[in-house]
Amino acid sequence: MIAGLQAVGATQAQASSGLFALCLAVAAISITLTLWLRIPISFAWSTPGAALLIAAGATGHVDFASAVGAFLVCAILIVLCGLWPALGRAITRIPKPLASAMLAGILFPICLAPVTAVVTLPQYAIPIVLTWLVLFRLAPRWAVPAAMVVAIVMILVSAGGSWTENAHLSPQLSFVVPHFDPVVVLSLGLPLFVVTMAGQNVPGIVVMSSFGYTVPPRAALVGSGAVSGAAALFGGHVINLAAITAAIMASPEAHPDKERRWVSSFSAGVFYLVLGLVAGFATALVSAAPPILITAVAGLAVLGALIGAITTALEQPAHRVAAIATFLVVASGIVVLNVGSAFWGLLVGGIVMAWLGWERRRSVPRT
């Protein structure tokens, strides 16, 4: 998250504020909707969205005020999806192979970071990767948290005692005046909206339904979009329905009694408040680390998401060419007319899918 905000121009103070604002937003919506609906509905900041920010920052300089404007546009579109069901249906009808391929293309360069880090900073990266690999075999749920702990130790070793200098360790909110740059909105805001809806909100609703819970789309989308807009003014990108953590909170692991599982998501909201209190500490620590080291940990964290996105993108043989075209364009990181590769990948994939689909329909003999 912090790496993503800093990639699009946030200062250390602004990244800390963004993290704090997102923690408050997740806490507010989780606690409120859980108490109202009495179901284990859970929210989180958009991890694919954070990956998109890192990818956008790698393609060129982005002014943070313009990024905040893109965040606000994304939040407004999410609210509109809740208020205007037709728009929500249109977004959810984006072909799954293309949406998944776009997400895979965004995640791919980040997942290469552990490899790069092992070569460029072996003394710090190798212990992180080995910790992740060993625990992924023995205790998969603890692999990424353990790798993060080792990364913190490595960062402290590399930074010495200087990392707290000029750092605001107490949580602070810093207001950012948004700037609406059409190019940034198109290359960052719209892809952020698509990956949040297709990669998080829609799977979140599906996961909840698989455990017998019905999520009211209007309440979830309008609520999360509204608090995302508020968080954006203080540097946060976007929050959404959780999918992976929702599977934990809505499952019998949370409580044998289905009617009592809402306590888990309520508790998560409370713990997000606690997490927000250490936002300044976390940002100072990340800012003191070699950037490749932070991206390497992020790459390990989203490796499962990359595997899932690639699997989904290629599961339909008829659309594999379109999905691969989308993936290649997005992963290339190209910038055309100052618009990033996520938009162009989705556009190219849509054209390829339409062309091949038309060719197949034309080749079917008429009866």
Helix (H), strand (E) at residue 192: helix 190-196
State the Cα–Cα distance between residues 72 and 80, nearest whole angstrom. Answer: 12
Instruction: Please tell me the predicted confidence (pLDDT) of residue 24.
Output: 94
Structure tokens at 352: 């390829």
pLDDT per residue over 152-172, tens digit each? 888 887 766 666 665 566 778
Mark residue 166 as left, alpha or beta (left: phi above 0; alpha: psi -120 to 50; beta: remaining).
left
Identify the burial level of 122 via C-beta atoms within 10 angstroms of its C-beta, where 0-12 means exposed, 13-18 middle and 19 or more buried. exposed
State the Cα–Cα distance between residues 81 and 167, nearest whole angstrom. Answer: 39
- Mean of the per-residue pLDDT values of the chain: 84
Structure tokens at 85: 């069901």
Instruction: Please tell me the predicted confidence (pLDDT) of residue 91.
Output: 58
Confidence grade of residue 250 (pLDDT, cut at 50, 70, 90): confident
Instruction: Please tell me the predicted confidence (pLDDT) of residue 365.
Output: 58
Structure tokens at 49: 């969205």
* Mean local confidence (pLDDT), 333-360: 79
With a CB cutoff of 8 Å and minimum separation 6, the contacts of 139 are: none
* Mean local confidence (pLDDT), 339-360: 81
pLDDT per residue over 95-145, tens digit each? 878 878 877 887 788 889 999 999 998 998 999 999 999 998 998 878 888
State the Cα–Cα distance between residues 65 and 297, nearest whole angstrom. Answer: 27
pLDDT per residue over 287-304, tens digit each? 777 878 878 888 887 787
Out of 171-180, 199-208, 309-318, 324-333, least confident range:
199-208
State the Cα–Cα distance between residues 107 and 101, nearest whole angstrom. Answer: 10
Helix, coil or strand: residue 60: coil
- pLDDT above 90 as % of the chain: 33
Confirm if 268 and 245 have CB atoms less than 8 A apart. Answer: yes
* DSSP symbols for 134-190: HHHHH-GGGHHHHHHHHHHHHHHHHHTTGGGTT---S-----------HHHIIIIIH
- Computed on alpha carbons and rounded to an integer, the radius of gyration of the chain in Å comes to 20
CB atoms within 10 A of CB 212: 9
Instruction: Please tell me the predicted confidence (pLDDT) of residue 155.
Output: 81
Domain boundaries, the chain: 2-363
* Mean local confidence (pLDDT), 356-363: 68
What are the CA-CA distances from residue 158 to residues 13, 152, 153, 310, 353 (Å)?
22, 10, 9, 35, 48
Higher pLDDT, 330 or 282: 330
Whether 321 has a pLDDT exceeding 90, the answer reads yes
Higher pLDDT, 328 or 98: 328
* Mean local confidence (pLDDT), 211-236: 91
State the Cα–Cα distance between residues 184 and 187, nearest whole angstrom. Answer: 5
Instruction: Please tell me the predicted confidence (pLDDT) of residue 70.
Output: 94
Whether 191 has a pLDDT exceeding 90, the answer reads no
Confirm if 171 and 18 have CB atoms less than 8 A apart. Answer: no
Instruction: Please tell me the predicted confidence (pLDDT) of residue 59.
Output: 67
State the Cα–Cα distance between residues 58 and 81, nearest whole angstrom. Answer: 30
State the Cα–Cα distance between residues 333 and 329, nearest whole angstrom. Answer: 7
Mark residue 78 as left, alpha or beta (left: phi above 0; alpha: psi -120 to 50; beta: remaining).
alpha
Instruction: Please tell me the predicted confidence (pLDDT) of residue 269.
Output: 92
With a CB cutoff of 8 Å and minimum separation 6, the contacts of 185 are: 69, 70, 73
Confidence grade of residue 13 (pLDDT, cut at 50, 70, 90): confident
* Mean local confidence (pLDDT), 342-367: 77
Instruction: Please tell me the predicted confidence (pLDDT) of residue 233.
Output: 95
Structure tokens at 237: 């990108």
* DSSP symbols for 222-275: HHHHHHHHHHHTTT---EEE-SHHHHHHTSTTT-SSGGGTHHHHHHHHHHHHHH
Confidence grade of residue 306 (pLDDT, cut at 50, 70, 90): confident
pLDDT per residue over 25-60, tens digit each? 999 999 999 999 999 998 998 877 888 888 777 766
Whether 363 has a pLDDT exceeding 70, the answer reads no
Instruction: Please tell me the predicted confidence (pLDDT) of residue 360.
Output: 60
- pLDDT above 70 as % of the chain: 88
Which of 33, 3, 28 has its CA nearest to residue 18?
3
- Which letter, b or e, does each residue of 323-359 get, where b requires 16 or more Cβ atoms within 10 Å of its Cβ? bbbbbbbbbebeeeeebbbbbbbbebbbebbeeeeee
Instruction: Please tell me the predicted confidence (pLDDT) of residue 292.
Output: 82
Whether 266 has a pLDDT exceeding 90, the answer reads yes
